[in-house]
């Protein structure tokens, strides 16, 4: 294995100043072989560090030949296709998993997540918001916000409509990556950088942020916030929520184990172990006072929810008479509908 973390060859969009707005990496590589790493760094004269190098057409054929000899035929084929590109091209080489320092670096890391090459919380994305520009995502691709009014006028003068689907730093994942074996009812609700394991279904109201996702299979009708990972066989009911690391959750890494259920409009601000259930309408935060019940239904102790973080087979519910949040052993595991998850 080489000392290079990742390599990607991309085609993207720049504004009129030559600044990158976005980059598409059709086949990123993580932990390339020594031969592939040497072919890239030698041909492009890269000595070290994390770099994004603009590619010109004169470099494509020699680099493709070196990669072919190194056994990277798929990468070589991509570079040969790049020869006909009318868009700017870039090569990104990451010698280490450090915080991204440019738009191409950030986009390569987001691609690694959505291509399932790394899992959420398994890659450094510190400061990614500061690296990514806010972009108008349109039916004509990414457009710099300062250039948008002129582009809208130009379209109208041609009798066309420039449709702006959203204004955001992150594009929707499916314009870059469609992982194998998933269903996504509303593609705008899954950002690039989401990790969707095989067998995952995202319903219309489901949402998955970047650096978050599912092991799969899973049924997601709620919100998976940034930094959150949901285990296999878990179900997020309609309107449910997970507390992310961007706001409210601080540095606490929230996760759901296998076979968990967040009921409709429920939520969690603590990590859940396997086979845990939070009843509909109940939101558990780290400071929530919880009455732990014994096998006779009597209160054994009163604790903060954070003291139950990561434990298996728990059922959280609210006592309808007293309003007290209670926790007892969950004797039934969630079983997902196999037919619904045959993606």
Active site residue 221: yes
Is residue 194 within 8 A of residue 118, CB to CB? The reply is no
Cβ(319)–Cβ(266) below 8 Å:
no
- Maximal C-alpha separation, the chain: 77
Report residue 9 CA to chain centroid gap: 20
Task: Tally DSSP H helices, then E strands, for the chain.
Answer: 6, 27
Q: What residues does 138 pair with on adjacent strands?
A: 141, 164
DSSP code per residue over 167-207: EESS-BGGGT---TT-EESSGGGBBTTEEE-TTEEE-TT-E
Q: How far apart are CA 315 and CA 324, in angstroms?
A: 14
- H-only helix segments in 70-142: 73-82, 103-114, 128-131
- Catalytic residue chosen out of the listed positions 22, 105, 215, 221: 221
Catalytic (active-site) positions:
221
């Amino acid at each position: 294995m080489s000392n290079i973390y990742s390599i990607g060859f991309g085609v993207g969009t720049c504004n009129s100043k030559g600044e990158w707005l976005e980059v598409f990496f059709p086949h990123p590589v993580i932990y390339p072989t020594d031969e592939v790493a040497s072919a890239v760094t030698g041909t492009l004269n890269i000595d070290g560090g994390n770099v994004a190098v603009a590619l010109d057409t004169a470099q494509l054929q020699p680099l493709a030949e070196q990669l072919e000899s190194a056994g990277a035929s798929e990468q070589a084929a991509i570079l040969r296709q790049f020869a006909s590109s009318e868009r700017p091209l870039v090569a990104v080489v990451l010698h280490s998993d450090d915080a991204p320092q440019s738009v191409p670096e950030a986009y390569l890391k987001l691609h690694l997540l959505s291509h399932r090459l790394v899992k959420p919380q398994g890659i450094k994305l510190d400061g990614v918001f500061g690296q990514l520009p806010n972009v108008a995502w349109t039916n004509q691709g990414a457009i710099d916000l300062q250039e948008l009014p002129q582009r809208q006028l130009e379209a109208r003068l041609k009798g066309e409509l420039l449709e702006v689907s959203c204004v955001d730093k992150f594009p929707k994942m499916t314009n870059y990556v469609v992982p194998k074996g998933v269903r996504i009812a509303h593609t705008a609700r899954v950002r690039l950088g989401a990790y969707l394991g095989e067998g995952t279904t995202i319903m219309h109201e489901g949402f998955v942020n970047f650096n978050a996702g599912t092991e799969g299979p899973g049924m997601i009708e709620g919100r998976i916030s940034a930094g959150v990972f949901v285990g296999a066989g878990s179900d997020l009911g309609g309107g449910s929520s997970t507390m992310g690391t961007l706001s409210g959750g601080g540095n606490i890494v929230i996760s759901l184990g296998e076979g968990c259920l967040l009921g409709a409009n429920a939520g969690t601000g603590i990590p859940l172990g396997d086979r845990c259930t939070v009843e509909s309408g109940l939101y558990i935060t780290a400071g929530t006072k919880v009455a732990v019940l014994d096998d006779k239904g009597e209160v054994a102790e009163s604790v903060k929810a954070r003291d139950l973080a990561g434990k298996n087979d728990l059922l959280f519910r609210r006592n309808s008479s007293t309003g007290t949040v209670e926790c007892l052993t969950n004797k039934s595991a969630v079983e997902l509908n196999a037919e619904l998850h045959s993606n």
